[in-house]
Amino acid sequence: MILRGWFKMGWWSKCREFWEEMDRKGVCKDLHSYSIYMDIVCKSGKPWKAVKLYKEMKKKGIQLDVVAYNTVIRAIGLMDGVDFSIRLFREMIDLGCQPSVVTYNTIVRLLCENGRVREAYAVLDQMLKKGCAPNVITYHCIFGCLEKPREILGLFDRMIESGIQSEDGHICDAYEEVWEMGIS
C-alpha cells in the first residue's frame, strides 16, 4: 500500500496527510489499511495513536485479526504497560483470534522487561499447550532477564531440547561463560 511505501521512505507527514485525505474523500478504511497505519504510528513513536485507531476500529465494528492485535498489544505495552497488553491478549483469545508466535513473544518480552520472569515462563508453557512453538526470539526474551547461572543453563537446556538453536551463536557463548563461572 502507498502508506507503507511512504513510511519506508521516511515521509511520516505524507502518511498522515493521506490517511486524513481518505476520511475527507469518504474512502472506506478496512482491516488491512488500519493495520498498516497502526503499525506506522507505532513505529513512529506514537503508540497512543495506534490505541486510538484500535478503539475506532472496534467502534466501527471492524473485527481485528492477529496482525492488528499484535500491533495494538505492542502499542499498549509501550504506552500503558504489560497488564493492559495481557488484558487485550485475553480479549483476543476470547474473541476466537488465535495468537501467533509474534503475539506470544510480545507478551513474553513485555513481562521480562517488567521483571515478571515467572509469568513469562507461564506464557512459554501456555504457548506449548496451545500448540504454538516458541522460537529463538521467545527464548532470547527470557534469557535477557535471567541472572542466576542455573536458570540460564536450565532455559538453555529447555531450548535445545525443543530443537531450537541460536542462529547467531551468542547463546552458546553465554552458555560457556556461565558454565565456567560455575553453577549457583
Tens of pLDDT along 159-171? Answer: 888 888 766 555 5
Confidence of residue 157 (pLDDT cuts 50, 70, 90): confident
DSSP string, the chain: -HHHHHHHTT-HHHHHHHHHHHHHTTPPP-HHHHHHHHHHHHHTT-HHHHHHHHHHHHHHTPPP-HHHHHHHHHHHHHHT-HHHHHHHHHHHHHTTPPP-HHHHHHHHHHHHHTT-HHHHHHHHHHHHHTT----HHHHHHHHTT--SHHHHHHHHHHHHHTT---SSSHHHHHHHHHHHH---
Q: How far is Cα 87 from Cα 136, in angstroms, rounded to an integer?
A: 25
Q: What is the mean pLDDT of residues 72-95?
A: 91
Q: Which residue has the higher pLDDT, 40 or 174?
A: 40
pLDDT of 143: 87
| pTM of the full structure | 0.82
pLDDT of 173: 58
Which amino acid type is present at position 29?
Answer: K
pLDDT at 107 over 80: yes
pLDDT of 169: 56
pLDDT at 55 over 60: yes
Confidence of residue 134 (pLDDT cuts 50, 70, 90): very high
pLDDT of 166: 65
pLDDT at 116 over 90: yes
Confidence of residue 174 (pLDDT cuts 50, 70, 90): low
pLDDT of 45: 86
